[in-house]
Amino acid sequence: MAGNGYPYRDATRPLPERVADLLGRMTVEEKAGQLFHAIITMEPNGSLVEDPAEAPTEASTTELLHNRLMTHFNLLTGSTPRAMAEWHNALQRRAAETRLGIPVTVSTDPRHSFSDNPGAALRSGPFSQWPEALGLAAIGQAELVRQYADTVRREYLAVGLRVALHPQIDLVTEPRWSRAGMTFGEDADLTSRLVGPYLEGLRGGGTIGPDSVAGMVKHFPGGGPQLDGEDPHFAYGKEQVYPGGCFDYHLQPFAAAIAAGATQMMPYYGKPIGTKYEEVGFGFNRGIITDLLREELGFTGIVCTDWGLITDQKIMGEPHVARAWGVEELSVPEVVHKVLDAGADQFGGEACPEVVADLIRSGAVPESRLDVSVARLLAEKFRLGLFDDRRYVDPDQAEATVGGEDFRAAGARAQSRATTVLKNDPLASGRPALPISGRPRTYLHGMDASVAAEYLEVAASPAGADLAILRLSTPYDPRPGKFESFFHAGRLDFPPEQLSGILSLLDAVPTVVAIHLERPAVIPEIAQHAAALVAVYGASDRALLDALAGRIPPAGRLPFQLPHSMAEVEQGRPDVPQESRDPLYPFGYGLSYPTA
């Protein structure tokens, strides 16, 4: 490990001087290691994973740190806050044993809501639980988004997570797209208004510093316009199309993010079809990364590709080809060369730095090109204080901070407020179905009866019930693969047999339907037959009941249109926002409860 006498370890020196000093001491192999941002896991007890058979990279943690000389990792798993903090410290101690002692930067996908997709987001677990980003957009208040992101910052910092692989500011102009739930919806103005407060909350105020979490904004230049709504994690979804000519519309939130001080950016997997740009994946696309993002939009920060562009990998035990869309015929070194030529700085989800080192030593790529990216990556570590006081975390503080009572209360309140009332008809009594008053005999479907019993009298069946509450989720077409099954895509309407059962209940007893909108569901029949219809975007039973009972009045407004039919969806243009002239419910729609 380097001694404290080296200039790069002196916190009083200017950042450019520290970067230059460290960069000048690094071998080609040490530089190459910085360009890889691999997935890593931890043992539940907080120890390092040293059995290659248990590691997603099929390499031990020590191998990644000491032999491949990597210092950027995406933590896929979790545990208790104490165990996570202890794992982080063990990781940093192992990294400190290397020749230069470069500290590790640990990143994570979102961990604060209800999603459970190993390729996109993790369920909250010990962290405070908030609505999905769609729910924050439904409330639409910049200050709430800032509060949410500041909470994320505090909880991440406590366990050593320093890069958030979010916010996701794609626009959901193709309703079938499986990644809709973690966006702010389909409107460029709303998304642009919220991304700045999000990044400010992650930073903890002004510029990025030792008390900040860096946000990696994704997915440039906007991943929403997917052909048929399919996702480019998979070969059948690799085409991004713009039949409505709205390419620039999808850029607006990214321009806002850059203006708000974004320091990291992730291009998506897809390849543009029918535009002026080369028809290769955005991570390989010089016209997108260098010409558009860097030169036209002025972004000077880190560009990290999405995960798994270079090598074929096993995910959940199943083989998946590299997402080298448009360049499938190239060899691994050629693909790496193309990413570097495009202007990216890091390879997400990969662990083959020897390929970069070989390209440098062969003369195929000049070392000066490597230095440009490594300097950006090192500068971010210095800004985050990782070389100084922020290298280690306090397990006691982690235990006290993560999932704190105030954080959980704020998250639950946001879940209730995000609830969006779409229909609220009067009951036989003449009163609107919502807010629920008194303790009506209520039949429940999809809800915990023990929680509901605190708000109403639970009925065992619809017969004799005064009311019913039915919780639903957006329909989708199940996909066969283990990993693929987490991406809910395809149909947005309920199959006839399922719809028939739903409508039978709605016709038997006045029913409040609460549907979780992870995508814009097609529910005209349900809307017609329900006594009340509300949309939620991640809400516990208690948070939903607080909204339905009016204890926390719902304030949500739809962050996208709800279409009338699947035919309307299929005929739509994937890049065009708010295209329906007669939606079931328009963008921005939402009712308020009557006041006394």
Catalytic residues: 306
- The Cα 149–Cα 557 span in angstroms is 21
C-alpha closest to that of 359 among 32, 72, 64, 70: 32
CA distance 168 to 259: 16
451-466 core/surface letters (b: 16 or more CB in 10 A; e: else): ebeebbebbeebeebb
Which string of DSSP letters, residue by residue, matches 148-191? HHHHHHHHHHHHT--EE---B-----STT-TTGGGS--S-HHHH
CB of 148 closer than 8 Å to CB of 99: no
The residue to which tokens 């999808």 are assigned: 250
Distance CA 142, CA 485 (A): 34
Q: Specify the residue for token string 């048929």.
A: 228
C-alpha span between 198 and 447 (Å, rounded): 32
Alpha helices in 160-318 (DSSP H): 188-203, 247-259, 286
- Residue 477 class from Cβ within 10 Å (0-12 exposed, 13-18 middle, 19+ buried)? exposed
E strand or H helix that includes residue 74 = strand 72-75
Tokens of residue 256, six digits: 């806002």
| DSSP element (H, E) containing 15 | helix 15-25
Cβ–Cβ < 8 Å for 530, 423:
yes
Strands 163-164 and 532-536: unpaired
For tokens 């919780």, name the residue.
471
What one-character DSSP code corresponds to residue 254? H
Q: Are 265 and 306 in contact (CB under 8 A)?
A: no
Say if residue 397 is exposed, middle or buried (CB neighbours under 10 Å; 0-12, 13-18, 19+): middle
Residue 270: Cβ within 10 Å count: 30
Instruction: Give every strand in the sheet of 302-303, ordered side by side.
Output: 302-303, 264-267, 214-220, 163-164, 105-108, 72-75, 36-40, 347-348
- DSSP-derived secondary structure for 577-590: SS--SS-SB-TT--
Q: How far apart are CA 357 and CA 31, in angstroms?
A: 8
For residue 366, the SS3 value is coil
Question: CA-CA distance, 6 to 22, in Å (whole number)?
Answer: 9
Beta bridge partners of 215: 164
